[in-house]
Chain A
Amino acid sequence: MSSEPARDALAGLKVLDFCWVVAGPMATRYLAVHGAAVVRIESRHRPDVMRGANPYRDGVPHPERSGYYAWHNTDKYNFSLNMRHSRAREVVHRLVRWADVVTENFTPGTMEEWALGFDDLRKIKQEIIMVSASMLGRGGPHAAQPGFGIVLTSLAGLTHVTGAPGRLPITPFGAYTDFIVPKFIVAATLAAVDHRNRTGRGVYLDFSQLEAVLHFVTPTLLDYAVNGRVKEREGNRHPAAAPHGVYPCRAEDSWCAIACFTEGEWAALCDVLKRPEWARDPRFARLVARKAHEEALDAALAERTREWPARDLMVALQGAGVPAGVVADSRDLFEDPQLQHRGHFTVVDHPELGPHAVDTPEFHLSRTPFRIRWSAPLLGQHTEHVCREILGMSEAEYLELAAAGVLE
């Protein structure tokens, strides 16, 4: 093995990025932190809506201080371009000729209106790869419907199954599907790059975010297709485990998840909670009985778990071989020893936000690890750099485009 530091995994890969909001920017951030050059196009006339999204440094709204934007855009170049200007196209065409991949997640029709659809792009560069990730894909009666991940969780069946029986369904937190789709986008995009490298042919990947997300619920769809069964809300219950739930702990609104799938785990739980008699109680002795008396079981457990700090209970139960986990709130995540061990959160310094946390990829590559090199860019922060260093413009040419209002 060479002792040279390995180059970044995606060194040399060039991405022209029109993505906005979350799903697209998260996808291109995976590429950026692994060494791809990602040039994000943004416009002062239509900046990313996430610049107006909570949280902000000190809670004060400001387009350069959104933590949500900052989280998903580290390590990208930001190029501000007035897409309404008649000469924007010539700049974009030069960037297309530079790029391997063009990414976007607008509602279908937006790129086409700018004459930047796949058919347009391949005329500019025959072997270009284009990746679109609209909510519902191109084609079909609802294709033009705009929307965010928060509603996609409902379309994808995730909301219907979440919550307590008899209550309103619960929309999983966050724009949940936005965090599923990027993994599919990254895998497929790099497969397309590999294919182009071997064949010289460009590829268009036109994602319907809904159609990708449905692969996270496929067994429930097959259950309806072959058995006619519609999965409903069941809280935290599991048909083959009891206890299976989250139980209150000592601090206010603190909880520990416990899931016993075997009689051995149940017996160990009784020992840790100093209630060995439960293991002999006919209501609780076997799984079938526990399922039949699950409310009484949960109530009895809660009486004991309330005496424990959640983390102490998890450590004690895990030490005894019982599956258990703190129901972590955001502060718990920053204090979680495993996440700290993995370096999940790291701090970057941002010109407006100051030092702040960002997350890091959930996979570690042994030879070419990711690198967080710079914080999310200010709007237009790299416009001159991209013009001069990437597009090779002369200073006069750059200044002329800026003065004409093409660059912002």
Chain B
Amino acid sequence: MKDGHAEQSSADLLLGPYRVLDLTDERGLLCGRILGDLGADVWQVEPPGGSSARRQGPFHRDQASPERSLFWWAYAQNKRGITLDLETSAGQELLRRLVGGAHFLIESSDSGYLARLGLGYDDLRAISPALVMVSITAFGQDGPYVRYKDGELVGMSLGGMVYLNGDPDLPPVQIGVPQFYQHGSAAGAAGAMIAHHARQATGEGQHVDVSCQQAVVRSIGNAPASWDLEKAIFKRMGPYRAMSATTFMRTTWQCKDGFVNFQLSGGRAALPSIHALVAWMEESGMGDPAIHQVDWASLRYGNLTKEMMAVVEPPIQRFLLTRTKDELTRGALERRIFLFPVNSARDILETDHLHARNYFQQVEHPELGQSVTYPGGFVMTDRGRLAIRRRAPAIGEHNVEIYCGELGLTHAELAALKDAHVI
């Protein structure tokens, strides 16, 4: 394969022996993909006509068709795809047969939906007591919000993330790329593997009930602990960051041609970084005694006050405006300064460090006659990087391979199911 992404034999794959039935839509695709990246054989189950996740943009050349969703491409890779209508009794029967051979089942439907079809955890456990079933929902399987409508903005708001971000003179703002279900999906993979470990010891499976809201609340740093211990409520502060009721740090800055992230915060770990920046400013004839008014050596992490910030900020900003993002990034690397570019998608695709590590992988899309650059495996092992072994499946691409080849249906049976719109 290209780019040094070695072909791995199934024996090398960490989860090679395991099969995953993935019933998720856009709310849970990443969970099964993580298990697939780790080597499991993931069967993505879609309704006939295709998953609703295929309606998520952006789209290849902006053609909003089910086979052109870049969201689908991103999160259904390393899976095989079959169609199945779970709302028909024949489809339900087929799913029960599939469950008999599966180690994991992942789903992201509204709580109670599968149980109404006779496919809830209690039903499936009766078929396969060793099954690990993962349910990914916005708020969990029960509770006062269980019937609430969710979504990215609503979920991130109820998870406490939105309140913390934005300019003080504007409303709070969401993170600009959907995150809510990704948190629950990735957490689902962690929960699945914890349940798997327990199963390997006891032979018994269980139900893993994931709340995306909780996963987001766990991603807002020290904000909850600060309310608990100091009764502090952090507010959005533009490029600044509240570290406590009275202390701040600064993160983003304008430079000559864009933006950089320079963490002005204090703390022992940051001390050499501050010294190195000050030295660079002085070498450039842009030193300023004001910076030395702060006793950096004894300042703890995150303990810079508003008054200190007002003194040290202007000379640093003046210096940064004289340099481009690229000049600052290279200088910071040489001088070990905590300064990084604020990367756009283009910058990421052009990052030399990532190319030097063969991070990106070219994946063939024969149906389009082209190959596409993908972010590569999420971890390196001692035997190489996890690989994209197959692109995301077309609708029903593996129906014959799986229903006939793995489940043992005849081609005639498959045709009959297709005629009945079950697959």
B149 in complex: contacting residue of A148, A212, A322, A345, CB < 8 Å = A322
Closest-by-CB residue of B relative to A177 is: B219
Asked if B297 is an interface residue, CB under 8 A from chain A, the answer is no
- Are B336 and A145 closer than 8 Å at their CB atoms? yes
Contact of A337 with B193 at beta-carbon distance under 8 Å, contacts A150-B251, A226-B60, A323-B150 already known: no
Kindly name the residue among A172, A329, A330 whose own CB sees the greatest number of chain B CB atoms within 10 A: A330
B147 to chain A, nearest CB (A): 8
- Are A211 and B150 closer than 8 Å at their CB atoms? no
- Are A366 and B193 closer than 8 Å at their CB atoms? no
- Are A367 and B172 closer than 8 Å at their CB atoms? no
How far does the alpha carbon of A171 sit from the alpha carbon of B198 in the complex, in Å? 38
What string of 1s and 0s marks CB contacts (under 8 Å) between B108-149 and chain A?
000000000000010000000000001000011011110111
Asked if A309 is an interface residue, CB under 8 A from chain B, the answer is no
How far does the alpha carbon of A11 sit from the alpha carbon of B162 in the complex, in Å? 37
B357 in complex: contacting residue of A140, A167, A191, CB < 8 Å = A140
A156 to chain B, nearest CB (A): 7
Contact of A55 with B230 at beta-carbon distance under 8 Å, contacts A173-B223, A184-B186, A187-B189 already known: yes
B210 to chain A, nearest CB (A): 4
- Are A255 and B171 closer than 8 Å at their CB atoms? yes
Contact of A154 with B159 at beta-carbon distance under 8 Å, contacts A190-B196, A219-B74 already known: no
What string of 1s and 0s marks CB contacts (under 8 Å) between A129-173 and chain B?
000000011111111011110110111111111111001111111
Q: In the complex, how many residues of chain B place their beta carbon closer than 8 angstroms to a beta carbon of chain A?
A: 161
* Segment 199-221 of A: residues with Cβ below 8 Å from B: 199, 203-208, 210-212, 214-221
- Are A188 and B176 closer than 8 Å at their CB atoms? no
- Are B344 and A172 closer than 8 Å at their CB atoms? no
* Segment 363-381 of B: residues with Cβ below 8 Å from A: 372-381
How far does the alpha carbon of A57 sit from the alpha carbon of B232 in the complex, in Å? 12
Asked if B404 is an interface residue, CB under 8 A from chain A, the answer is no
* Segment 161-175 of B: residues with Cβ below 8 Å from A: 161-167, 170-175
- Are B301 and A49 closer than 8 Å at their CB atoms? yes
B299 to chain A, nearest CB (A): 10
- Are B221 and A175 closer than 8 Å at their CB atoms? yes
Asked if B333 is an interface residue, CB under 8 A from chain A, the answer is yes
- Are B224 and A359 closer than 8 Å at their CB atoms? yes
Asked if B75 is an interface residue, CB under 8 A from chain A, the answer is yes
- Are A362 and B214 closer than 8 Å at their CB atoms? yes
* Segment 205-226 of B: residues with Cβ below 8 Å from A: 205-215, 217-226
A151 to chain B, nearest CB (A): 4
A174 in complex: contacting residue of B17, B177, B210, B221, CB < 8 Å = B221
Which of B43-51, B263-271, B306-314, B412-420 sits within the interface?
B263-271
For B190, list chain A residues within 8 Å (CB).
Answer: 30, 182-183, 186-187, 363
For B339, list chain A residues within 8 Å (CB).
Answer: 151
For B166, list chain A residues within 8 Å (CB).
Answer: 163-164, 170
Contact of A222 with B302 at beta-carbon distance under 8 Å, contacts A147-B338, A327-B162, A363-B208 already known: no
Which of B94-102, B241-249, B282-290 sits within the interface?
B241-249
Kindly name the residue among A178, A246, A336 whose own CB sees the greatest number of chain B CB atoms within 10 A: A246
For B174, list chain A residues within 8 Å (CB).
Answer: 162, 236
Asked if B354 is an interface residue, CB under 8 A from chain A, the answer is yes
Task: Identify whether the interface residues of B are mostly helix, strand, loop, or mixed.
Answer: mixed
- Are B344 and A327 closer than 8 Å at their CB atoms? no
- Are B158 and A328 closer than 8 Å at their CB atoms? yes
- Are A137 and B208 closer than 8 Å at their CB atoms? no
How far does the alpha carbon of A147 sit from the alpha carbon of B189 in the complex, in Å? 27
A331 in complex: contacting residue of B184, B214, B227, B301, CB < 8 Å = B227
Closest-by-CB residue of B relative to A199 is: B11
- Are B254 and A168 closer than 8 Å at their CB atoms? yes
For A238, list chain B residues within 8 Å (CB).
Answer: 153
How far does the alpha carbon of A116 sit from the alpha carbon of B160 in the complex, in Å? 40
For B188, list chain A residues within 8 Å (CB).
Answer: 363
Which of B83-91, B345-353, B393-401 sits within the interface?
B345-353
- Are A253 and B235 closer than 8 Å at their CB atoms? yes
B302 in complex: contacting residue of A54, A138, A224, CB < 8 Å = A54
- Are B194 and A34 closer than 8 Å at their CB atoms? yes
How far does the alpha carbon of A292 sit from the alpha carbon of B148 in the complex, in Å? 29
- Are B163 and A329 closer than 8 Å at their CB atoms? yes
For A322, list chain B residues within 8 Å (CB).
Answer: 149
For A332, list chain B residues within 8 Å (CB).
Answer: 160, 163
Kindly name the residue among B155, B197, B235 whose own CB sees the greatest number of chain A CB atoms within 10 A: B197
How far does the alpha carbon of A323 sit from the alpha carbon of B377 in the complex, in Å? 35
How far does the alpha carbon of A55 sit from the alpha carbon of B70 in the complex, in Å? 41
Contact of A224 with B346 at beta-carbon distance under 8 Å, contacts A142-B333, A161-B176, A356-B228 already known: yes
- Are B378 and A223 closer than 8 Å at their CB atoms? no
For A190, list chain B residues within 8 Å (CB).
Answer: 193-194, 196-197
Asked if A308 is an interface residue, CB under 8 A from chain B, the answer is no
For A223, list chain B residues within 8 Å (CB).
Answer: 58, 70, 345
- Are B143 and A188 closer than 8 Å at their CB atoms? no
- Are B165 and A67 closer than 8 Å at their CB atoms? no
For A339, list chain B residues within 8 Å (CB).
Answer: 213-214, 217
How far does the alpha carbon of A93 sit from the alpha carbon of B232 in the complex, in Å? 44
Contact of A55 with B226 at beta-carbon distance under 8 Å, contacts A190-B193, A234-B176 already known: yes
How far does the alpha carbon of A57 sit from the alpha carbon of B228 in the complex, in Å? 9
Asked if B411 is an interface residue, CB under 8 A from chain A, the answer is no
B171 to chain A, nearest CB (A): 5
Contact of A68 with B225 at beta-carbon distance under 8 Å, contacts A49-B269, A159-B261 already known: yes
For B207, list chain A residues within 8 Å (CB).
Answer: 365-367
Asked if A18 is an interface residue, CB under 8 A from chain B, the answer is no
How far does the alpha carbon of A334 sit from the alpha carbon of B197 in the complex, in Å? 32
Closest-by-CB residue of A relative to B70 is: A222
- Are B161 and A173 closer than 8 Å at their CB atoms? yes
Closest-by-CB residue of B relative to A214 is: B375
What string of 1s and 0s marks CB contacts (under 8 Å) between B48-62 and chain A?
000000001110111
How far does the alpha carbon of A212 sit from the alpha carbon of B33 in the complex, in Å? 13
18 A-B pairs with CB atoms under 8 Å apart are A55-B228, A150-B241, A155-B341, A168-B238, A169-B252, A169-B259, A171-B239, A187-B189, A208-B380, A221-B374, A330-B226, A332-B160, A338-B213, A342-B143, A342-B211, A359-B224, A363-B208, A363-B211
User: 9 smallest A-B Cβ distances: which pairs?
Assistant: A174-B221, A161-B176, A363-B191, A362-B214, A179-B219, A330-B227, A173-B164, A341-B143, A67-B225
13 A-B pairs besides A154-B261, A172-B175 with CB distance below 8 A are: A55-B244, A71-B224, A164-B166, A169-B252, A183-B186, A184-B186, A190-B193, A208-B380, A214-B375, A257-B158, A324-B154, A327-B157, A365-B194
